[in-house]
Amino acid sequence: MKKHNFNAGPSILPQEVIENTAKAVLDFQGEGLSILEISHRAKYFQPVVDEAEALMRELLGIPENYSVIFLGGGASLQFCMLPFNLLEKKAAYLNTGVWAKKAMKEAKGFGEVVEVASSADANYTFIPKDFEIPADADYFHITTNNTIYGTEIRKDIDSPVPLVADMSSDIFSRPLDVTKYAVIYGGAQKNLAPAGVTFVIIRNDVLGKVSRYIPTMLNYQTHIDNGSMFNTPPVLPIYTALQTLKWLKAQGGLAEMEKRNIAKAELLYNAIDNSKMFVGTANKEDRSLMNICFVLKEEYKDLEADFMKFATERGMVGIKGHRSVGGFRASTYNALPIESVQALVDCINEFEKLHA
């Protein structure tokens, strides 16, 4: 039976990316060694990092005055590393979910943190609007896609202060204007690679402005100066990231990804909106293209376990909603084919015929 992988992360990767990585695990570029056992200092690994950076720059249109680095620790380490490097007195945060709240919590250890707006009172079902960004903030932080709640900021906003974005779960899903941002960071385990590598895109002129001592490993400049090779980088995930970037380019780039992602999301959202039994949880104007969250209507709540079993038997994987929201979540990242979304839609329709 074919499996349809809707996991929120670590999540689906293109099949050819998995196959190319598997080949490198057995024999990296004919060297007679696995990529798992080569030195990151070896002459044949440096081109992997260089090409991955070059493709990121090409696909995202990253200007020369920005650095691209590959780190460990996940986006959660960036919640601390970012204010360590950028927060001198005050930072502003938009609170749109669990990850935004966690980022804000870490920043409070380095200076004043202003919450410009929050949708917490509505269980994060929408993206706040018409908020005011303090002009004296060192930076303004947003989380562009909220995996748990299924909301997304899909436009590059204008900010009077350096704009920082956690794009862990929607990077490479659409074209974006990198020049609107001072820092873009994210864990790779959604649209780029397996867990273990974190990307940071940073405009060079925002560094060197804090008065505190920054520990060597937590200093962005350390990793920029050493080309992501100050210490042993996550070799395998970087290699997989390179394969994904090659795949993205071959598929037609980010404009094509956005086109496909819109089509997938519209297919599933239309099924939910026209359903007698299911309803979406996020405000329609803020719905995510990456994480589609829905629940059973009140009168059918007792059928939740039945639908999970029904869908699982038909090959659906990873559709259980986060415990703080309940219901169901279908993560429709770049590598998920529209055929898988159609299979889930068919599940919804079949289940409804049996129970509605």
**Co-location of 197 and 138 in the same domain:** yes
**Co-location of 113 and 208 in the same domain:** yes
- Kindly name the residue from 138, 166, 170, 286 that is annotated as catalytic: 166
**345 part of a folded domain:** yes
Q: For the segment 230-287, what is each residue's pLDDT rounded down to a tens digit? A: 999 999 999 999 999 999 999 999 999 999 999 999 999 999 999 999 999 999 999 9
**Co-location of 104 and 231 in the same domain:** yes
Q: What is the mean pLDDT of residues 15-34?
A: 97
**8 part of a folded domain:** no
Residue 324 reports pLDDT greater than 90: no
- Kindly name the residue from 138, 170, 190, 286 that is annotated as catalytic: 190
Residue 44 reports pLDDT greater than 90: no
**Co-location of 92 and 220 in the same domain:** yes
Identify the CATH number of the domain in which residue 192 sits.
3.40.640.10
**Co-location of 292 and 185 in the same domain:** no
| pTM for this model (two decimals) | 0.97
Residue 1 reports pLDDT greater than 90: no
* End residue of a domain, out of 220, 236, 251: 251
Q: How many domains does the chain have?
A: 2
* End residue of a domain, out of 231, 251, 271: 251
* End residue of a domain, out of 223, 251, 279: 251
**Co-location of 183 and 60 in the same domain:** yes
Tell me, yes or no, if 190 is annotated catalytic. Answer: yes
Tell me, yes or no, if 286 is annotated catalytic. Answer: no
| Residues spanned by the domain of 43 | 15-251
Q: Give the model's pLDDT for residue 75.
A: 98
**243 part of a folded domain:** yes
Q: How confident is the model at residue 42 (pLDDT cuts 50, 70, 90)?
A: confident
Q: Which three-class secondary structure string do you get for the chain?
A: CCCEECCCCCCCCCHHHHHHHHHHHHCCCCCCCCCCCCCCCCCCCHHHHHHHHHHHHHHHCCCCCEEEEEECCHHHHHHHHHHHHHCCCEEEEEECCHHHHHHHHHHCCCCEEEEEEECHHHCCCCCCCCCCCCCCCCCEEEECEECCCCEECCCCCCCCCCEEEECCCCCCCCCCCHHHCCEEEEECCCCCCCCCCEEEEEEHHHCCCCCCCCCHHHCHHHHHHCCCCCCCCCHHHHHHHHHHHHHHHHHCHHHHHHHHHHHHHHHHHHHHHCCCCEEECCCHHHECCCEEEEEECHHHHHHHHHHHHHHHHCCEECCECCCCCCCEEEECCCCCCHHHHHHHHHHHHHHHHHHC
Tell me, yes or no, if 2 is annotated catalytic. Answer: no
Identify the CATH number of the domain in which residue 317 sits.
3.90.1150.10
**Co-location of 83 and 228 in the same domain:** yes
